[in-house]
Structure 1
Amino acid sequence: MGRFIDAENFIKEIPVAPNDVLWRSLLSACRTHNNLELGKKATENLLELDPSDDSAHVLLSNMCATNGRWEDVEIIRRKMKSIDITKKPACSWVKMKNKVSSFGIGDRSHPQAVQIYEKLEDIKKLIKQAGYVADTSFALHDTDEEQKEHNLWSHSERLALAFGLINTPEGLPLKIFKNLRVCGDCHSVYKLLVGTLGEKLC
């Protein structure tokens, strides 16, 4: 569950000043294990080194959202806006032969958009039959539970997954890439598909 006391002691005891890589690694671990208080400390130290570090603001905002701290989320977003920091948009892509197909959240611009969203509905039904329950803590907007689950199903990595399953010939590997961290709920969807339903979907 994360050895945060050991991590803090290590940072305090190393003979050189901690750099941004160390603080960012700690902040990322805090995000994974939902340690908000230590995450705030790591963010403060990261921003002392680089006040324009967008990843520090975004990771802390995501932790606050996970914990329902929506006022804190709004404060962080206002601060980012005031110093002209924008979150890098999440993007997932699939390369087939010499063509790359990329997707953003809620993307409907692809020529196969109708088939992609139909495939997503098929995936959703199959994994729910296998026991999948959406973890809406990864839906980082203050909406009701139904809307949060809906938002999860428009994540770029799921769109890329559906596209890949439609277009990858049976027996060939499907490789999906993302420019940012994969959402935890999307990771669960992928694991469930690979572990129990992959053959039905390919």
Structure 2
Amino acid sequence: MASHRDSSRYHDPEFEDDSFDEPPSKSSRKRAMQALQDLGAELVALSTDQLKKVPLPDSLFLAIREAQRFTRKDEALRRQMQYIGKLMRTVDPEPIQAQLDVFRGLSSAEIARQHRLEKLRVDLIEDEKVIETIVERWPQVDLQHLRTLRRNAIKEREQSRPPKAFREIFKVLRDLDAADAAADDAGEQDNDDSNRPEHS
């Protein structure tokens, strides 16, 4: 059966404390839903062996397997794909996307980075002291925002709500890590420039 992660425990509807977040526009919601539909279609296109390697809750795994049994594109398949799209809105897509990236042959470094950030996110939810590790690595982090996201992610899990804050934590960590990588690259470029011999 498909493997599971803590994120599969996070379910439906909206996130309580939106004081720091503007409500999404109708068009952005539509784009987000279409992206999840597309992700679901990618999952349906996988082989059985590949699908078993993707971290999915049982309900989504079984719905995808059911869609794979259809031999032609008809109304029944369309309804099943709509159902898969609905289920996709109840899970965190990041680990799913990371595994699809593995199948596409993305760099091992990028995949390792994704997994490292996912683990840091789960560790943060489980233990507030992990914030100290994050601050030590990224002093520029907005602590108040991160603490608020953590509290709301815990509420989401306890109340079976969709993982909105949980996803946002990953985005925050990813942006911090990307900024670090960009700074490192800029520093290496400066060093290369300073080591180049000057020409008269």
TM-score by length of 2: 0.27
TM-score by length of 1: 0.27
Which structure has greater helix proportion?
2
- Structure ranking higher in strand proportion: 1
The structure with the largest alpha-carbon Rg is 2
